[in-house]
Amino acid sequence: MAKRELGPAAEQVARAVDTFTGHGDWGVACSGGPDSMALAAGLAWVARRRQVRCPVWLVDHQLQPGSGEVVRRAAAALTQKFRAQLDPRVLTVTVISDGSGPEAAARGVRLAALAAAARHLGVGVLLGHTLDDQAESVLLGLARGSGARSLAGMPQQRDHDGVRLGRPLLGLRRAVTRQAAEEWGLPVWDDPHNADPRYARVRVRDRVLPTLAAELGPGIPEALARTADQLRVDSDWLDQQTPTLPAEPRCAELADLPAPLLHRSLRDWLREAGGEVTSGHLLAVVGLVHDWHGQGPLQLPGLQVSRRAGRLVRHQPTDHQPTDHAPIDHQGRSTRG
């Protein structure tokens, strides 16, 4: 397809998808919003050149009235325009609250459904995250104090449950994808949740980033994305050096690890058991290694960690596990007589 057949924004999206996908087999996760609709159109452009047909999964989370109609309209629009290149399929999922918040719960269910569908076809899944999404993720990670991994933002490609996830649009602004969808003549749906200030990401998008731009000048999203790229190089190297801990690691061996590797290995060890920890939780566990003075079990979200016979032990809050010393109260005093 000649360049003149695409508008300038559509050209940017199509080239980004073409460069990213190479010779791999991919499908698209689509919500009906401008980013993912433009991404689907970009993959259709690539599929036409390669003479292939690609799946598009439109996920209905059933969280809002009329959500099923939204995905059906998007599927119909893509079918009408790209019938020979795309195969739209609706995935209906049920989001169950798990205490992680509505966004995280919906994301978990969505990724599980996409991974199952993609695995069945032997393809990867393209996601429509843009440079703006990356900048927002970096600021949210900074606000949480989550460390280099969070500040590294979203990787362009990673594995999830044995399926490749790809983000070819991380170098493009959200305004470009919206303009691209318009140039392709595609209807788009604006999720009301994306304008709801109850969500931290929305406040970052609508208030924090504009304030930073007003006070510090333009180019803030691009600068944040560059920072994420630079941190990811360092973070990936550290991940390669980080040891995988056994179920009950010896504290003496943990104490010999450099601080960055100790923190990383312990965070992975906690998450392996289902614990979602903050930096404060992590530092408390590090204290069981480097500042042991008879602390009682640490209460983490959904998990307890204690030191027993010179080892760290994970157990559920209902378990009763002996520790090296008597439990202590909040002032550090033994609760035994």
264/286 Cα distance (integer angstroms): 11
- DSSP string of 112-164, one letter each residue: HHHHHHHHHHT-EEE----HHHHHHHHHHHHHHT--HHHHT---SEEEETTEE
* 36 annotated to a ligand binding site: yes
For domain 8-216, the CATH architecture is 3-Layer(aba) Sandwich (3.40)
For domain 243-315, the CATH architecture is 2-Layer Sandwich (3.30)
**170 with 131: CB under 8 angstroms?**
yes
Total-model pTM: 0.83
Q: Is 243-315 in the same CATH topology as 8-216?
A: no
* 31 annotated to a ligand binding site: yes
> Domain coordinates of the chain in residue numbers?
8-216, 243-315
113/317 Cα distance (integer angstroms): 31
* 291 annotated to a ligand binding site: no
30/38 Cα distance (integer angstroms): 9
Spell out where the chain has E strands.
26-30, 54-60, 86-92, 124-126, 157-160, 163-166, 298-300, 303-308, 311-315
Kindly give the confidence (pLDDT) of every residue in the chain, 337 residues in length, as a single tens digit, with 9 standing for 90 and above.
444 689 999 999 999 999 999 978 999 999 999 999 999 999 999 999 999 999 999 999 887 888 899 999 999 999 999 999 999 999 998 888 766 677 778 888 999 999 999 999 999 999 999 999 999 999 999 988 777 888 999 999 999 999 999 999 999 999 999 999 999 999 999 999 899 999 999 999 999 999 999 999 999 999 999 999 999 999 999 999 999 999 999 999 999 999 999 999 999 999 888 777 788 889 999 999 999 999 899 998 888 999 999 999 998 876 554 444 434 333 333 333 3
* 210 annotated to a ligand binding site: no
